[in-house]
Amino acid sequence: MLNTNGRTAYDESHALFRDQVRKFFDAKLTPNLERWEKEGIVDRQFWRDCGEAGLLCPTMPEAYGGLGLDFGYNAVVGEELAWSGSSAGITLQSDIVADYILHYGSEEQKRQWLPGMISGEVVTAIAMTEPGAGSDLQGVKTTARKDGNHYVVNGSKTYITNGQNADLIIVVAKTDPEAGARGISLILVEANREGFARGRNLDKIGQHSADTSELFFNDVRVPITNCLGEEGRGFAYLMNQLPQERLSIAVGAQAAAQRAFDEALAFVKERKAFGKTVFDFQNTRFVLADLASKLQVGWAHLDWAIRRHVAGELTAVEASAAKLWHTDLQGEVCDAALQLHGGAGYMNEYPIARLWRDARVSRIYGGTNEIMKEVIGRSL
């Protein structure tokens, strides 16, 4: 169980919510985790169960079926999900996609999509990355050209989380290919549109239960009303939403790092070598002491960042720094924790193996950590 003693980002209501989340994951997630890892996708029923339990999009207003809570409740779900060792894409829906629709969508779009996202009946994705464009979103080649009262969408996307399950995709596309960043728009594309196709469920190093896909758009016609917000404002919208996305990644990274540490500590206290436990060796204790100190600092910083974000004060630079620091810490802790397992750490039957594999991508998605340094560096 994730130790939350001394946390400063949460109050008693968050603690009660966390207890509900833990009980739900114990009943609905943990028993299915290994099967989902093998199948490469999470059951749609799990999404509906999450919705029924109030775990999806808790910040959305009550007018659309949400709970109207603060981001701290999203963070509770994110922490518990990551500590459980799951890579299910529910945080993408709650922490990223829902806010795009809430902040930039028309009233009709909100009423059409948010209730289903909250209930788990609708699964969403956001399609930014392309085979030739990753962190540089201005380099996207997918187009959405006007044809009467429709857009015609053409292009391809890759590495898209929830790609196999998604019913609705926010597509980052060029509505004016000659206008650079000012020519980027966000277009809602329903998965049942003619010309839309899913590619393969990608074979990844880790995060096996997260369906991550190629998506193809071949003359997909959608109404002009499917533009999310104003045409040409897509790049600005993406930049506005990055602080919460990067904080969400930091939340998961810190919790996963803690789980890796917890696994290592438990293992070395039981494992015997040369007539004593591995924990009894000074080197083991020193490694764990160093990691425990960094995790302590990490939790204090994460609580600071969550509080600032809930207050509407977290800047893009601060969020980038959080994403950089916590994902680097995740990598360090997971690697050291696997080493402390010895040969057992390389065996997939131990949770540390999955935690180690899953950790690697956190320094890449949401903007690579090199991009985080560039963002921070430009602010100095």
For 164-224, the DSSP string reads TT-SEEEEEEESSTTSGGGGEEEEEEETTSTTEEEEEE---SS-TTS-EEEEEEEEEEEEG
Residue of 245, 270, 318, 374 with catalytic role:
245
Q: Looking at beta carbons, which pairs linking 49-54 to residues 24 or more positions away fall under 8 Å?
A: 49/24, 49/120, 50/24, 50/90, 50/120, 51/118, 51/119, 51/120, 51/121, 52/119, 52/120, 53/20, 53/21, 53/24, 53/28, 54/20
**Host H or E run for residue 157:** strand 150-161
Catalytic residue list contains 349: no
Answer yes or no: are the C-beta atoms of 228 and 104 closer than 8 Å. yes
Cα dist. 315→98, 136, 322 in Å? 20, 20, 11
**Host H or E run for residue 272:** strand 272-273
CA distance 112 to 38: 34
Which of 133, 43, 130 is CA-nearest to residue 89?
43
Neighbour tally for 336: CB within 10 Å = 16
For 217-254, the DSSP string reads EEEEEEEGGGB-SSTT-HHHHHHHHHHHHHHHHHHHHH
CA distance 226 to 229: 9
CA distance 356 to 363: 13
Which of 64, 56, 51, 160 is CA-nearest to residue 103?
64
For residue 262, the SS3 value is helix
CA distance 288 to 261: 8
DSSP-assigned letter for residue 96: I
Residues carrying an active site annotation: 245
